[in-house]
Amino acid sequence: MTTLLLDTHVLLWWLSDDERLPERMRAAVADDENEVFVSAASAWEMSIKAALGKLTAPGGLREEMEQQGFTELPISVDDALAAGALPRHHDDPFDRMLIAQATRRGLQLLTVDRRFSDYDVRLL
């Protein structure tokens, strides 16, 4: 079994069946052998961007996650300290949190953001 963490845009693309989601990521998320995590940071990012009018967030995210069989990943103090200690390759606080969480827990992070490759994190 592989443990996966979805970047926020990957989560949104999965939930909306968006064609921008690469097939290898789609297959990994769909594979019942994999455990898929969604960080609280992604829900936080989506709610902030929705409030600012920058995106339309899906309604019922918690229910949607349960239906999909995704596991909620809370943010811990250790996650926050690790995110703050990351090299300054990338300044988006939500992305830095996802990188820290994936690194600390040995999760494979699904993203199309090329800036993530500047970090020592497992990517798909």
pLDDT tens profile 58-91? 788 899 999 999 999 999 999 999 999 999 887 8
**Range with the poorest average pLDDT among 25-34, 92-101, 111-120:** 111-120
Amino acid at 112: V
pLDDT score of 58? 76
| Cβ atoms within 10 Å, residue 64 | 15
Query: Rounded to two decimals, what is the model's pTM?
Result: 0.93
Per-residue model confidence (pLDDT) at position 31: 97
Position 15 scores a pLDDT of 93
Tokens 């455990």, residue located = 35
Angstrom distance (rounded) from CA 75 to CA 41: 7
What tens digit of pLDDT does each residue of 7-44 get?
A: 999 999 999 999 999 999 999 999 999 999 999 999 99
Q: Give yes or no for residue 57 having a pLDDT over 80.
A: no
Q: Going from the N-terminus, what domains does the chain have, and what CATH number goes with each?
A: 3-118 (3.40.50.1010)
Note whether 64 and 32 are within 8 A (CB). Answer: no
